[in-house]
Amino acid sequence: MSVKPVYINREISWLDFNARVLQEADDKNVPLLERLRFLGIFSNNLDEFFQVRYATVQRISQSSKTGKRVFAGRSAEALLKEITQKVIVLQTESLNILHTIYQEMEKENIFFIDHNQVLPEQEEFLKDYFLQYVNPALVTIILSQDQSQDLSSNKAFIVVTLDLDSEDESDQKLHALIEIPKEIKRFIVLPKGENGRQYVMMLDDLIRYHFKMIFSFFKYKKIEAHMVKITRDAELDLEEDVSKSYVEKITVSVKDRMISDPVRMVYDNEIPDATLAFVIKKLKIDSTDSLIPGGKYHHRRDYMNFPSLNRPDLLYFTFPPLPIANLSLEGNFLDAISNKDYLLYTPYHTFSYVIKFLREAALDPKVSSIKITIYRLSKLSHVASALINAAKNGKKVLVQIELQARFDEENNINFAEKLEAAGVQLIFGIPGLKVHSKICVIERLENKKTRRYGFVSTGNFNESTAKIYTDYTLFTANQKVLKEVNKVFNFLEVSYQLKTYKHLIVSPHYTGSILSKLIDNEIKNKKEGLPSGISLKLNNVTNYKLVDKLYEASQAGVEIKMIVRGVCCLIPGVKGLSENIRVISVIDKFLEHPRVYMFENAGKKKIYISSADFMTRNIDNRVEVACPIYDKELQQQMIDTFEISWNDNVKARLVNLSFQNKMVECKSGESQRRSQWDTYEYLKNKLNFEDS
- pLDDT (tens digit, 9 = 90+) per residue, 455-472? 999 999 989 999 999 999
Please report the DSSP string for 35-90 in residue order: HHHHHHHHHHHHHHHIIIIIHHHHHHHH--SS---EETTEEHHHHHHHHHHHHHHH
Distance of alpha carbon 22 from alpha carbon 566, whole angstroms: 13
Q: Which helix (H) or strand (E) holds 114?
A: none
Q: What is the pLDDT of residue 548?
A: 97
% of the chain beyond a pLDDT of 70: 88
CB 610 within 8 A of CB 45: no
Over residues 242-283, the pLDDT tens digits come to 334 444 443 444 344 344 566 778 888 889 888 888 888 877
Q: Please compute the mean of the pLDDT values over residues 657-675 and round it to a whole number.
A: 89
Q: Measured at the alpha carbon of residue 542, what is the angle toward residues 541 and 543, in degrees to the nearest 5? A: 105
Cβ–Cβ < 8 Å for 361, 389: no
**333-493 and 505-691 agree in CATH topology:** yes
**What's the pLDDT band for 398 if we cut at 50, 70, 90?**
very high
**Alpha carbon of residue 559 to chain centroid:** 30
Mean pLDDT of 150-160: 71
* CA-angle at 450, arms to 330 and 361, nearest 5°: 30
The residue among 679 and 422 whose pLDDT is bigger is: 679
- Nearest residue to 323 (alpha-carbon basis) of 293, 294, 303, 353: 353
Packing angle of the helix pair 632-646, 675-691 (nearest 10 deg): 150
For residue 136, what is the DSSP state?
Answer: G
Per-residue pLDDT band for 406 (boundaries 50, 70, 90) equals: low
> CA–CA separation, 278 vs 113, rounded Å?
30
Rounded mean pLDDT, 33-56: 89
CA-nearest of 80, 59, 63 to 15 is: 80
Of the candidates 436, 503, 509, 593, the residue annotated as catalytic is 436
Taking phi first (over 0 means left), then psi (-120 to 50 degrees means alpha), and beta for anything else, what does residue 87 get?
A: alpha
Tell me what the mean pLDDT of segment 175-198 comes to: 91
Q: Is 213 helix (H, G, I), strand (E, B) or coil?
A: helix
Q: What percent of the chain has pLDDT over 90?
A: 61
Q: What architecture does CATH give domain 505-691?
A: 2-Layer Sandwich (3.30)
| Cis amide leading into 323 (omega within 30) | no
For residue 170, pLDDT beyond 80: no
Half-sphere exposure for 395 (CA within 13 Å, toward CB): 29
pLDDT value at 681 more than 80: yes
Burial 109-127 (b: 16+ CB within 10 A, else e): ebbebebeebeeebeeebe
Residue-wise pLDDT for 280-322, tens only, equals 887 777 656 577 787 777 778 899 999 999 999 999 999 999 9
Instruction: Provide mean pLDDT across the span 631-653.
Output: 97
pLDDT at 691 over 60: no
Structure confidence at residue 255 (pLDDT): 45
pLDDT of residue 245: 44
Catalytic: 210?
A: no
409 Cα distance to chain centroid: 15
Domain at 113-296, CATH class = alpha beta
Under the banding of pLDDT at 50, 70 and 90, the label for residue 238 is: very low
Residue 566 pLDDT more than 50?
yes
The mean-pLDDT minimum among 37-41, 292-296, 550-554, 616-620 falls in 292-296
Between CA 91 and CA 307 the distance in angstroms is 23
Q: Residue 259: its pLDDT value, please?
A: 42
What does the pLDDT look like over 419-446, one tens digit per residue? 889 899 988 866 678 889 999 999 999 9
Domain 333-493: homologous superfamily in CATH: Endonuclease Chain A (3.30.870.10)
Q: How far is CA 549 from CA 48, 315, 560, 602, 614, in A?
A: 30, 43, 12, 19, 12
Q: How far apart are CA 47 and CA 264, in angstroms?
A: 9
Q: What is the pLDDT of residue 169?
A: 52
Q: Which of 81-90, 155-164, 359-368, 435-444 has the lowest mean pLDDT?
A: 155-164
The distance in angstroms from the start CA to the end CA of the chain is 66
Which residue in 436, 473, 445 sits closest to 624, CA to CA?
436
Domain locations along the chain: 10-108, 113-296, 333-493, 505-691
Helix (H) or strand (E) holding 231: strand 220-232
Amino acid at 264: R
Which three-class secondary structure state does DSSP give residue 625? strand
Cis ω for the linkage preceding 262 (within 30 of 0): no
- The span from the CA of 283 to the CA of 222, in Å, is 24
Q: How far apart are CA 507 and CA 611, in angstroms?
A: 10
Tell me how far apart the 2 most distant CA atoms of the chain are, in Å: 95
- What's the confidence (pLDDT) of residue 459? 93
Of the two residues 426 and 516, the one the predictor is more confident about is 516
CATH number attached to the domain at 10-108:
1.20.58.310
- Report the alpha-carbon distance of residue 582 to residue 584 in Å, rounded: 7
More confident residue, 496 or 513: 513
Question: How many residues belong to the chain?
Answer: 692
Averaged pLDDT of the chain: 87
Buried residues in 60-83 as b, exposed as e (16+ CB within 10 A): bbeeeeeeeeebbeeebbebbeeb
The partner residues of 59 in beta bridges, in order of sequence, read none
Check residue 419 and give its pLDDT. 87
